[in-house]
Structure 1
Amino acid sequence: VAMQDATAQMALLQFMQAGRPQVAVPSTVHCDHLITAKLGADIDLPHANTESKEVFDFLASVSNKYGIGFWKPGAGIIHQVVLENYAFPGGMMIGTDSHTVNAGGLGMVAIGVGGADACDVMAGLPWELKFPKLIGVKLTGKLNGWTSAKDVILKVAGILTVKGGTGAIVEYFGDGAINLSCTGKGTICNMGAEIGATTSTFGYDESMERYLRATNRADVADAANAIKEHLTGDDAVYADPEKYFDQVIEINLDELEPYLNGPFTPDLATPISQMKEVAAANGWPLKVEWGLIGSCTNSSYEDLSRAASIAKQAIDKGLAIKAEFGINPGSEQVRYTADRDGLLGTFEDLNATIFTNACGPCIGMWDRTGAEKAEKNTIVHSFNRNFAKRADGNPNTYAFVTSPEIVAAIAIAGDLGF
């Protein structure tokens, strides 16, 4: 069971009444929601520690008493921390956050629930749900050029809409799925929440093994390898998917191009080649005010490295960034490694603000200067949701969801259509 600081409060208050001396299953609390992004991590994190001290102290105390793992403010975004430390192939978990589904990138069945369900499971009671339908997404080919794993789920969202996955588990398979990185798989599963899916998952493969070993979990990788034939679908299923899935979608990654989804809904999918024309036709502001990289969807080391490569090319060519630029690393491990390898320095050379390892603007915890004026404007981000007022409270902010590298490119250009 994984809980974030906003939803863990009620879940733990309920658990305290259960009369159990310890939690019945491994459980963790992650302080990532109650940290406002404004001036940068060095100022924002101490402010949050003061502003929400009572909540953080309560969560730490209860966690310590009942044997719950506690990740303090600044440690990272719950779902990135879970992927790096707890997720494992073939496991099942629930979490008090809709994007718990991110752990499907490591072959888990991970489902977002309410605090009452989490309390029941921590107390040792069974958890039940209506048996889901199965949607199969067959991926062929290989990502190339500017296309990323984010574009796979942006394309799927355009096909299924925000309701199309309701009551279903989505399974990705095929040669294209095997070719994706583990964190890329996590990105795809993460935004399954935006199509209403119960969860999304991938079968165990070598990319997951590499990620487990890279995050110091060789023992888990060895255990998974010993039973790997049971951690993915049978050959017969993938050979004739229509026979086993309620719905099958096929996407050729060789032909997939980058997408920008929005504004005001994550399923309005526009290929980047058409964006300038579509934006002009709809009256969407082409001038981009902010580019934001982060959230549980796209804050891994891989995500930051791809965006940093674009930033480095701009710096080398003497280009000045035309939009404001903000980065939320997904965890302290990501932040430390990105800083060590010069990625954060590259972003800072482009005048980016490095925010706390936390959710920040993605969940509306963004004290954006001028938002109160409610002016019509455009932002691009690598988050998951872009409903009206979601990021900054301004109903006239046109927010577009895309990959980290496209965010970087558009922030540099300052124009939705380049």
Structure 2
Amino acid sequence: MIRTLTARSLSAGASALAGYACSNCARPSVTRVVGNRRSLASIADSPPQSSALSPLVVPPYARLTSNLDKVRKALGNTPLTLAQKIVYAHLVEPDSTTDIKRGTTYLKIRPDRVAMQDASAQTALLQFMLSGLPQTTLPTSVHCDHLITAHSGSDFDVSTSLASEREVYGFLESASRRYGISFWKPGAGIIHQIVLENYAAPGLLMLGCDSHTPNAGGLGAVAIGVGGADAVDAMAGLPWELRAPKTVGVRLQGTLSGWATPKDLILHLAGRLTVQGGTGAILEYFGPGATSMSCTGAATVCNMGAEVGATSSVFPYSDAMRRYLVATGRPHVAAAADEALRAGLLVADAGSESSYDDVIEIDLAKVEPHVNGPFTPDLATPISKFAEMVKEKGWKDEVKACLIGSCTNSSYQDMSRAANLARQALSHGVKARTEFLVAPGSEQIRATVERDGQLGTLVEVGGKVLANACGPCIGQWKREGVSKDEENAIFTSFNRNFRSRNDGFPNTMNFLASPDIVTAMAFAGRLSFNPITDNIISSDGTPFKFEPPQGEDLPANGFAQGREGYAKPADGPAPELDVEVRVEQGSNRLQLLEQFSAWDGKEVESAKVLVKVKGKCTTDHISAAGKWLKYKGHLQNISENTLIGALNDFTGEVNLVRNEVNGSNGTIPEVAKAYKTAGVSWVVVADQNYGEGSAREHAAMQPRYLGCRLIITRSFARIHETNLKKQGILPLTFVDPTAYDVITPGSTVSTVGIASEKVPSSPIKVVVQRPGLETVVIECAHTMSVDQWEWFKAGSALNYIRKTMGV
């Protein structure tokens, strides 16, 4: 019997749309199965609110301190940095710890928490369902922030997403209820801002299915971006494996002033380190300048550590963090952290500077605003030199759009400083001369800046308020007014600017900057504008110059909680075991996963080189977002975008490869599917830092689904390399990077040395047969651990989990 719960039958506080209360909002329902009875339930059905003093939000400081004491003894009481303390305190077996070699030793870790956004949560939950477990074993949350397309404004865009994403939201909500997961509704906020406001805490170690999870380091946590399979390990209560990260200390002297912001610090650092300079390391900020920064400012810096490949980033516990915890309703966490600080857990040991693998010195007083881009976040240019760069490149001196917000820069302080500039402009009769889009990071931020007037000011100058969501930053932007092939410039306070990422237009140049610079650019409309030195013409024709913006880091009247429909869900709700998660047959959005086949125990023989990727190949190139986000829960459908952004060194074209079986040309997905159907094995050869960017595991699952078992590169980005291992793909790197050049069109690849029950020694020999040329043997290295080799043999990490659990 089917029963429909009408909007009238649901309490206003429970409705997913109650927070917006807009007259044009549809109220969709989603299908679930309860026992044998099929019924309809709104995604609004919420578990009871947990106590504000839930112990789940306080890290287990006593246990962590005890663990750390055991590790200290095992390591001979060597002085430890803050990052090392937090990581080692979370070891599963601190008693059996032996010598830890950073960059080499694999650690077994017990995280405190897992967070997932709605795009990555789909496959993570589909994988968790295969584990057979009745509930998650640690606090877990799902945040609906990626699937809302920016177009008409906040209320309309959320309403539209609730209709278009009904099936996915229903799946995520019902799965969350079934397995005891906190579910944050669409429009409640961006995952990393929500985590900072509610879950992050000093000394916490958490995993997040998003590469910008390290944002929580602004509150003293070690937060690490991972793929869904890693999250499943933690959710299932299994030890999570991490190669012991190196620790890079960033000593900060002085304080920021004037136009310089925390965003400029990380933009400057990205220019120094490059997109792979932090790979395999935690960036630990220390020194007097580290404690001078606001909590949300420190979070901005940690957030963009992902852009240099860092495993995580962390700031030491400070008074600014203490004040932020109190302001966000967590004085009990602050009190517990104070005690942990006194116990020595939340501070680096005296003399620990010798334990850093490298130290970078930065004087904050000398940091100036930066503009990074286009097309890569490490192309850093001080604002004082940017006009010269515009002239040298011959770019049109025009800015088409300015966008502030994103998980990187949507705090109260960010919005307040932007509004301060807007008020200055209004006092001279000036409004935005470009499209100006504003995305608050959370409902709490939106409600607070609305109450305190900043939001009204930004709207008055021409700003359009978007939903509390990722929107254009992740490519969810229905952009108008610019043709797809038109070269144009936008300024954003986002974290990434890969080609085509934001609007799908390949010639849009996204320049990353602080919200201050982005807002100032909106009033100038000129690409070469420098707000520190240049004038703007007021409405009466007289020139004026902006004063450096001002803004408080915390609201004087406290944070507003926002609309009722976006209230915080219970933390660690009891699983509703009678809720059966259902995926409709024939759905093109969701697809139950099938196990990947186990390895046959043989060497790879005469595998075709599907594509030899040249240059930068990010996870955006391997598994595009934007319009493809709707297929995140359907592996077969999303595999149609596999490597479509990759430049083939053999052809010199993007997404064009030769089918070596029949001699025809086709797209990369077309040829990969043809090989799979014909039973032809294939591999990918790639350049440096392959898989740079996000934590999206689809970039590993899709090639695996299409038949790939081996990828050889000059180097990998950390998260992507792990994701490949999780899905049963063997990642190899050239011992001699120039060996990349010996791979020629039509080459086939065979391995020598992987047909072993045990982890093969490194290097592994790879035999390359080249049409018309001599056969060459090259050496390749790997980083497989004992457990990871078991994943490969089983066909995937999930297969191995099921095997060990007897599922």
Structure 2 length normalisation: TM-score?
0.51
1:368 to 2:479 alignment: yes
Partner of 1:388: 499
1:194 to 2:307 alignment: yes
Match of 2:203 among 69, 90, 114: 90
Match of 2:234 among 121, 130, 140: 121
Residue 205 of structure 2 aligns to which amino acid in structure 1? M
2:439–2:465 contact (8 Å) kept in structure 1? yes
Q: Could you list the per-position Cα deviations for residues 315-371 of structure 1 after superposition, in whole angstroms to 9, with x for gaps in the alignment? A: 111112211100010000000001111111001101111000000000100000044
Partner of 1:231: 346
Alignment partners' CA distance in 2, 1:168 and 1:91: 18
Alignment partners' CA distance in 2, 1:61 and 1:179: 44
1:52 to 2:165 alignment: yes
CA drift at 1:373:
3.1
1:137–1:173 contact (8 Å) kept in structure 2? yes
Alignment partners' CA distance in 2, 1:283 and 1:161: 25
Alignment partners' CA distance in 2, 1:236 and 1:63: 46
Match of 1:331 among 429, 433, 442: 442
1:350 to 2:461 alignment: yes
CA drift at 1:19:
2.0
With over 3 angstroms needed to count, the CA separation of the structure-2 counterparts of 1:116 and 1:371, relative to structure 1, is farther
2:403–2:437 contact (8 Å) kept in structure 1? yes
2:400 partner SS: strand
Alignment partners' CA distance in 2, 1:270 and 1:26: 42
Q: Could you list the per-position Cα deviations for residues 62-117 of structure 1 after superposition, in whole angstroms to 9, with x for gaps in the alignment? A: 10111100000000000000000000000100011001110111111100111111
1:8–1:29 contact (8 Å) kept in structure 2? yes
Q: Could you list the per-position Cα deviations for residues 169-216 of structure 1 after superposition, in whole angstroms to 9, with x for gaps in the alignment? A: 100111111000000000000000000000000111111101000000
Residue 247 of structure 2 aligns to which amino acid in structure 1? L
1:22 to 2:135 alignment: yes
1:322 to 2:439 alignment: no
Residue 338 of structure 1 aligns to which amino acid in structure 2? V
Partner of 1:280: 391
Moved more, 364-373 or 114-123: 364-373
1:202–1:232 contact (8 Å) kept in structure 2? no
Bigger radius of gyration: 2
Alignment partners' CA distance in 2, 1:372 and 1:287: 15
1:103 to 2:221 alignment: no
Alignment partners' CA distance in 1, 2:131 and 2:252: 45
CA drift at 1:285:
2.9
Partner of 1:7: 120
2:188 partner SS: coil
CA drift at 1:18:
1.5
Residue 10 of structure 1 aligns to which amino acid in structure 2? T
1:165 to 2:278 alignment: yes
Alignment partners' CA distance in 1, 2:415 and 2:485: 30
1:148 to 2:266 alignment: no
Residue 170 of structure 1 aligns to which amino acid in structure 2? L
Q: Could you list the per-position Cα deviations for residues 242-273 of structure 1 after superposition, in whole angstroms to 9, with x for gaps in the alignment? A: x2211111110111100000111110111001
Alignment partners' CA distance in 2, 1:373 and 1:334: 33
Q: Give 1 or 2: higher helix fraction.
A: 1
1:40 to 2:137 alignment: no
Aligned CA-pair RMSD: 0.9
Partner of 2:509: 398
Alignment partners' CA distance in 2, 1:358 and 1:321: 23
Moved more, 269-278 or 366-375: 366-375
Alignment partners' CA distance in 2, 1:407 and 1:414: 10
Alignment partners' CA distance in 2, 1:350 and 1:320: 5
With over 3 angstroms needed to count, the CA separation of the structure-2 counterparts of 1:51 and 1:260, relative to structure 1, is same
2:243 partner SS: coil
1:379 partner SS: strand
2:438–2:466 contact (8 Å) kept in structure 1? yes
Structure 1 length normalisation: TM-score?
0.98
Partner of 2:251: 138
Partner of 1:180: 293
Alignment partners' CA distance in 2, 1:280 and 1:270: 14
1:172–1:201 contact (8 Å) kept in structure 2? yes
Alignment partners' CA distance in 1, 2:371 and 2:288: 25
1:249 to 2:360 alignment: yes
Q: Could you list the per-position Cα deviations for residues 35-69 of structure 1 after superposition, in whole angstroms to 9, with x for gaps in the alignment? A: 00011112111000000010001100110111100
List runs of 5+ in structure 1 lacking aligned partners. none
Match of 2:400 among 284, 289, 302: 289
Residue 102 of structure 1 aligns to which amino acid in structure 2? N
1 or 2 for the larger relative contact order (CA 8 Å, sep ≥6)?
1
List runs of 5+ in structure 2 lacking aligned partners. 1-113, 530-807
1:208 partner SS: helix
Residue 513 of structure 2 aligns to which amino acid in structure 1? T
CA drift at 1:14:
1.2
Partner of 1:67: 180
Alignment partners' CA distance in 2, 1:156 and 1:294: 21
CA drift at 1:129:
1.3
1:331–1:358 contact (8 Å) kept in structure 2? yes
Identity of aligned residues (%): 59
Stretches (4+) displaced over 6 A: none
1:187–1:297 contact (8 Å) kept in structure 2? yes
Alignment partners' CA distance in 1, 2:336 and 2:482: 51
Partner of 2:623: none
Alignment partners' CA distance in 1, 2:192 and 2:262: 17
